[in-house]
Amino acid sequence: MEVSKIQLSANESELILNKDWILTKHRITAKVYQVLGAVAAEMQTASQRYGKITGTTIWQNAPKISKGEQYEQLPYMVLDYPRVFSKQDVFAVRNFFWWGNYFSTTLHLKGSYAATYAAAIAANKTISENLFIATGNNEFNFNIEKEYACSLGYNWPSEEALKTMPFIKFTIVCPLQEWNHAVTKLADNTALLLQLLG
């Protein structure tokens, strides 16, 4: 590449001279970690209640919070709890912060867990403008604008349909404008998704 082509735009030049924006990002990231940590603590407290629906095994792995910078080129942070991942079987609830977009809470079932809960999910039809159903083949897609359908106006899947899907994923979105209530919203959304199971 020619050195003459490695130039910064006016906006980029301004940003590399400004420490405040990156320090602000670090502070926000620390607060996202606190939000997800508080959600994890709430779910650990509630695990006995939901263990009656799910069994206690899925709650044995400790909550895991991870982060990255490049989910569709934007920073993100993830809480997985409860979480069971293997090649064939998945039972996970993922609370996901995606910079510039939203918080989301996703119930992800695959393999034996999908088969176990298909009948209950089919029977527990839930309609909301914020509830989305994965319709594609990429089980690690968390962008609701791709391969998702809103439950409003969507035919709720039957037990038979659920059993033929390669995985089952339901996602509830929480706008970032609701930051001040994020812990409660994410814990409530986790509870709502777990209630689909029984």
**Is the per-residue pLDDT at 31 higher than 70?**
yes
* pLDDT value for 23: 96
* pLDDT value for 197: 93
- Check if the beta carbon of residue 144 is closer than 8 Å to that of residue 171: yes
**Is the per-residue pLDDT at 5 higher than 90?**
no
The predicted model gives 46-73 an average pLDDT of 92
φ and ψ of 119, to 5 deg: -65, -45
Domain ranges of the chain: 7-195
Q: What is the maximum alpha-carbon separation in the chain?
A: 65
* pLDDT value for 1: 53
112: Cβ–Cβ under 8 A, 6 or more apart, which residues?
88, 89
Chain segment 112-124, per-residue pLDDT in tens: 999 999 999 999 8
Q: Which residues is 97 bridged to in the sheet?
A: 77, 103
Of the pLDDT bands very low, low, confident and very high (cuts 50, 70, 90), residue 73 is very high
Q: Can you read off the two tokens belonging to residue 81? A: 């709890």
